[in-house]
Amino acid sequence: MEEVDERRREEADQDQEQEEEVLAPSFPSGRVKRIIKLDGEINKLTSEAVHLISLSVDLFLGFLAERAKNVTVQKKRKTINLEYLRSAVSTHTPTSDFLLDCLPGDHHVLDRTEKTKKPKTFHEEKPLPRGVQRIDGFFKKTPVAVAATAAVTVDLDAE
């Protein structure tokens, strides 16, 4: 009899410990909620849904990192790069079906020669829409403005 009561107490203690164990996502729930709300079809979210999505993203990123790490170890390297991540994604069919198109291609990977080149400024990368002007010129002094400033400083020195 005492053994049965003791087993029941142990089982009850284990059940309480399992109930008290709460999984905490590593991503802030507010940020996850904002990202989810970027989808126009979603109007309301419960905190449970945000919590589950945060945990799912955590597991998925851990899975991707583990597979990319395995590829990196196979190639006998110490740093995970985009090529290894693409390789890890392409070997897993369910993941490659939706994620491979989102990853930048090989043409986005910089050569060592490209790294030494001067980086492009924003206005060289993307043209402006019609009717929009940049304010970069406002902060740069034109030769006329430089000459006028020099003349003013000379006049102040003369007095």
Q: 151 falls in which pLDDT band (50, 70, 90)?
A: very low
Q: Over 70: is that where the pLDDT of 85 sits?
A: yes
Average pLDDT of span 5-20: 68
Look up residue 110 and give its DSSP letter. P
Tell me which CATH code domain 20-158 carries: 1.10.20.10
What would the pLDDT profile of 96-149 be if each residue is shown by its tens digit?
A: 887 888 778 765 554 544 555 555 555 556 777 777 666 665 555 556 555 555
Q: Over 70: is that where the pLDDT of 70 sits?
A: yes
Contact 65, 84 (CB under 8 A): no
Q: What is this structure's pTM?
A: 0.52
d(CA 9, CA 11): 5
> What ranges do the domains of the chain cover?
20-158
- Residue 154 is predicted with a pLDDT of 45
**CA-to-CA dists, residue 51 to 16, 29, 40, angstroms:** 22, 7, 20
- Residue 102 is predicted with a pLDDT of 79
Q: What is the mean pLDDT of the chain?
A: 75
Q: What is 32-98 written as a DSSP string? A: HHHHHHTSTT-----HHHHHHHHHHHHHHHHHHHHHHHHHHHHTT-SS--HHHHHHHHHHSHHHHHH
d(CA 85, CA 67): 8
